[in-house]
Structure 1
């Protein structure tokens, strides 16, 4: 039995070719593709390229998909290759049962029904009954070549007209119902789903028609109607024009997601062949997965109004749990009142290109989507926004990427928080300190604390070592202190200073006039420890402290260790001290 095409398509999608072929020959990244020496003939210069769904050797001509690779490299039969890849992908090969044969036959039948319907609609567009629809499309600036390329058509005005025409090809009403082209009304009467509408074929990623969308002429509602869910068509998994966009992206075009059929078609005609659109719904996780199979960083292009901002926010919310270091998004915003179709007609392709060139990376756009154009005045409102920023970063499963988003979002938040609502500097505002000098001063104070009170070192050795100390003398002195600790007989300040006798930096930091009370010789151990964690927090930064505290809490939960509990307490204190000090601009060197 021939296997269902839908099963084979899904198996191909679940079998990354670079991983499969990389077991046989070493591959290196070459743009969006991979290349290596061909495993099928001896060569010294790589001429073997691996793409998303196929491989090709420009030396010997070997070409094919994952099944072909196993058949050629291991001598497997087609079914052996399918069974092996299905096992690795966690899929079950359909059994040759009567029910499976019937499903396969019906799927083939539905494909034939869709093809016949598309031809029927396209013919009607060129007949007298379709004159108004054809005039509408040409009035929107579409060429005959574009109309033909997208298979646009006219449904006809009469109900039952499609069935009457397709019966001549042996297609009956139950098939049209199953294909989503007819539906039952009152008393079981069947009627066409589409009438008096311009027809837009919806195709799968391989170019096979799986459903239709229809736009009414005039002011009727709903303006657009999509076909229902069928065994061929899943709205949440499909993207309009993905079959055409895949080829364009392969040749270098940007993958751009817009909102409607006409936007996509106008973009393709203007040279933006990577345009696609969801089908009347918000972008779904399944559609994002389809997009990332084509491009690592698609551009989501939304209208510049409140509805566009809401759509962008929903898309970001769906995308966050799916982000990886290799998969992200960019966000482009159209001028207010414009969509891609109207912008191209007004400003031409250059106007649209300018919008795409200004697209923001995900992290930058995310801050604006959550915080808006400016932070509010009220502390409670700012705290709410900060919590939302933290939650957004926390939704990313990759820990390193999540930490980077947290750092970027909070850095921008605090940069805006320092002067909320100010449109100009105050008359007697002090100059903004040099951040490098501020950081160097805090590092010097932290070092002074360790020199005065080396009894702190066993508890703070690990956090002291992880800090990104300024390059130069301060870092060298810090490293020397850490190197002294394992061999020290007594944790005494005099002995530590004697060990650093050749380092003038120790003398310099202890003479600083801005040392806090905790760095004085007569400070209590508690005062010294509190000062250490306060300045550790200033140097570490809030986003890193938050992540440190989270990991420490996880360790405490797993081990119930007293040291882990102490670490949680100290990090929480450092974070609290940092947040209490955020409202003030630090003095230079303090």
Structure 2
């Protein structure tokens, strides 16, 4: 966890305890995100098994995606001090562009001066469960973040607050979610700015938390372009959508996904060292994703596993047919490392290389979308060259 980033170890794509928290999170319908791995350990000892933590970094887009695979509204739990509140607000900034129908975050703030271990020791697991049960929705934290950044007691300041709220709403990419946020926040803003409601502009967590709260002295600087407004995105042109550059896709993704799972079936010892990496990688094929998740769950309970033991557990869960189909096909026969008679070290090296390759392809897909938007907005040689280079790199990965 304290190791530096490497081509195979990306802290921003991993979560501590993700594999072991998967089943408890499914069972509870919720996952708890705490600030450090020692907090996860403390909660686990108290009986809260559905807890994970970033590996010493602020929450990333990749990690939010992982969390949404466990539960639609993960609960972010922060220490009740200024640093904790700042961390909560950073998470707000990160998640807004990613919001989609049915997926959000909730926020729980601990009493000031206490971390999860302190709270459990002083008040028992019930005290921690009360904090989690009182978690507040993202929309309320968005509101608090903007309103607590200043005092809104003049017409000019009220106009500034209205502008800030509008800019925050535009950060949301999904049009449906954006529309509901616009309705909710504008309704709240209208009530807030009425003269009989007062003009102090002070509300939110600070008045609800124990032992006082965070006093913000600096106005929040909204995100956007250099002039303070949001970046405007034109839609892709019909010509660009029909071009081979836009249609390319990752033709090798399905084969890589099959190889990743087939190698695990034949070399389950890889799970002992790389279970978190396996949890983080995106697998689009529904059945392969299902067997991946089941393999992780089995390893969490029954590790260490050998090949026959893993097959037995998969058979009990009704997944032996998927494993059989992977092995009975001829398309992967040439990939010697994926089969049971391959040398363990060679299988490990090849599997890790494949995993890195697959993740790079996923990153390229995102970069391609950004490059396509850039070219649609501004048809320059530089943007076109960038798009071609990304397309060529993805094409190379697709040949695996």
Name the TM tier (shorter chain): 0.3 to 0.5
Greater per-residue strand proportion: 1
Greater per-residue helix proportion: 2
Q: What TM-score results when the alignment is normalised by the length of structure 1? A: 0.33
**Largest Rg, 1 or 2:** 1
Q: What TM-score results when the alignment is normalised by the length of structure 2? A: 0.48
